[in-house]
Amino acid sequence: MTPRIIVETYAAMGAMMDRYSTLRKITRAFLCNSLAIAAVAAALALLPAATPTLAADEAPSAADQNCLGCHGSAGMEKKLADGDVLPLHVAADLYGKSVHRPNGCASCHTDVDPTAHPPSKKEIKSARSYAIAANEPCKACHAEKFKQWDSSIHAALVRNGNPAAPTCTGCHNPHTAIKGAATKIEQTPCQNCHKDIFTAYLGSVHAKSRLNSAASFAPTCSDCHSAHEVKPISLGESPAAACLGCHAGALESHKKWLPNAGLHFEVVSCSACHNPDAQRKVDLMLIDSQAKVRGTEQIGVPLFDASTRSDGNGIDAQTLWNLLQALNRGDAAGKTIVHGRLTVRTGPQAHQLTAKSAALSDCRTCHRQGSEAFESVTISLVGPDGRRVGYGANTDVLSSAISINSVHGFYAIGGTRIILLDILLILAILGGLAVPIGHLFLGWFFKRFGYYHPHNGHSAGPQGGDGPKAA
């Protein structure tokens, strides 16, 4: 008897039993027992190798064995209202080895009444709605993990109706969970959904170190992102924070060859140098300078949508300037500023970290005119669901005087500044005096060419009378 037939039998039986309620108990007991016995016999016949490995302390309780008498049959499934199927099979041998065996099926399936099941009275709309509801019982025993997950981007996405975001069972199979399994690289649940990033990570110096030695403390996904409180922009404003917890000596060691290493750590993401093959870009992050958090976008009010749509090349300097002007009107003066960061273009590229011998040490990769690193620009902020929202921008936002003058504290990277950096570079190498001299020089430079400065009241940017007004 195939499991398919079991399901159909019970579905038919359920309808029948509603009509012949007096016969209900007798029929049910008979059918259940005979089917359960048949299913156990089938399971034993199909799994001769698995059964002997079930040690005495892996044997499910008698009550659970009753459930497994039916649910241990491979291929058992149920048709749902939406046409989807819910697989009903629970592998008895894996369940026997799992952390939850001592708890018993009933500890989670509190809604299944063994004296009246099957059939199931529950109407199940979809496999997804079933899974979401079935995760509620986890809370009773794993309250802390539940709370952490509840505050994650994944939970926010589940609440928003994203069908792909994980509940507990998106990452843990409650029937087969084994102690510590989720901490192993090969079994990390993240790979099921973030495959491209997982593949990139596998080639990284961290994965190699971890796979080479069981003693390595090199990070897996959850060491950098956490497993339950996964936050979208988990690494905050500074790209360095996630790394320096383990690489506490990195700033000191980079200072030996990299002038102004502290500034580089702030404005260049580690992966921009430690993934030498990556494509780089400049990300201009809108920052709320008072709350010291990234700027956010409200639901249904995209800041740039219209402008990016009207201009295929993305946001230009004037549009950015207009936006900042609007955001910084009145009481909000000077609140929204822009921080530039040189980083890699894609998620996978952020994870392909190489050993130090391959890292980028050639200053001219970035400090030369026409550097590839400045050919791609995005403007980013935090979207309504907490994830990063990035808009494409024209490269002119880096070099245009109107950008330099957009807001207090806006530092343009690129354009003229790159030429200046060539000079700074020589100074830095000669005497380590780059910073003070550089900034004095810049001040002079911008005044010399009549560029507007927010503090001195000129309005003589190359865009003429349209220039910004002092806030």
Map the footprint of ligand HEC across residues 194-223, applying CB under 6 A: 194, 197-198, 201, 205-206, 209, 216-223
Map the footprint of ligand HEC across residues 237-266, applying CB under 6 A: 240, 242-243, 245-247, 249-250, 253-254, 257-260, 263-265
DSSP label at 268? B
Residue 190 interacts with ligand HEC (CB under 6 A): yes or no: yes
Please tell me the total number of residues recorded for the chain in this structure.
471
Map the footprint of ligand HEC across residues 309-368, applying CB under 6 A: 342-343, 347, 350-351, 353, 355-356, 359-361, 363, 365-367
Q: CB under 8 Å to 80, separation ≥6 — which residues?
A: 86, 124, 125, 126, 127, 130
Q: Is-contact 211 188, C-beta < 8 A?
A: no
Nearer to ligand HEC, 142 or 322 (CB): 142
**Using CA of residue 32, residue 35, residue 39, residue 41, what is the dihedral sign?**
positive
Residue 287 interacts with ligand HEC (CB under 6 A): yes or no: no
CB of 332 to ligand HEC, least distance (A): 25
Q: Is-contact 348 277, C-beta < 8 A?
A: no
Nearer to ligand HEC, 84 or 322 (CB): 84
Residue 80 interacts with ligand HEC (CB under 6 A): yes or no: no
CB of 321 to ligand HEC, least distance (A): 18
Q: DSSP string of 296-324?
A: B--TT--SSHHHHHHSTT-B-HHHHHHHH
Map the footprint of ligand HEC across residues 30-59, applying CB under 6 A: 32, 35-36
From CA 55, how far away is CA 40, in angstroms rounded?
Answer: 18
∠ CA 346-349-350, rounded to 5° = 90
From CA 461, how far away is CA 183, in angstroms rounded?
Answer: 56
From CA 63, how far away is CA 459, in angstroms rounded?
Answer: 82
The count of residues interacting with ligand HEC (CB under 6 A) is 147
Query: With CB under 6 A as the contact rule, which of the stretches 47-55, 176-184, 320-328, 395-403 interacts with ligand HEC?
Result: 176-184
Q: Which two tokens stand for residue 330?
A: 């009145």
List 10, 321, 391, 452, residue binding ligand HEC (CB under 6 A): 10
Q: Is-contact 3 89, C-beta < 8 A?
A: yes
Residue 122 interacts with ligand HEC (CB under 6 A): yes or no: yes
What x/- string results for residues 416 through 435 when contact with ligand HEC is judged by CB under 6 A? -x---x--xx--x-----xx
Q: Which two tokens stand for residue 435?
A: 């910073």
Map the footprint of ligand HEC across residues 370-409, applying CB under 6 A: 373, 387-388
Map the footprint of ligand HEC across residues 85-114, applying CB under 6 A: 86-88, 90, 95, 99-100, 103, 105, 107-109, 112, 114
Query: With CB under 6 A as the contact rule, which of the stretches 143-151, 286-294, 331-339, 396-404 interacts with ligand HEC?
Result: 143-151
Amino acid making up residue 304 = F
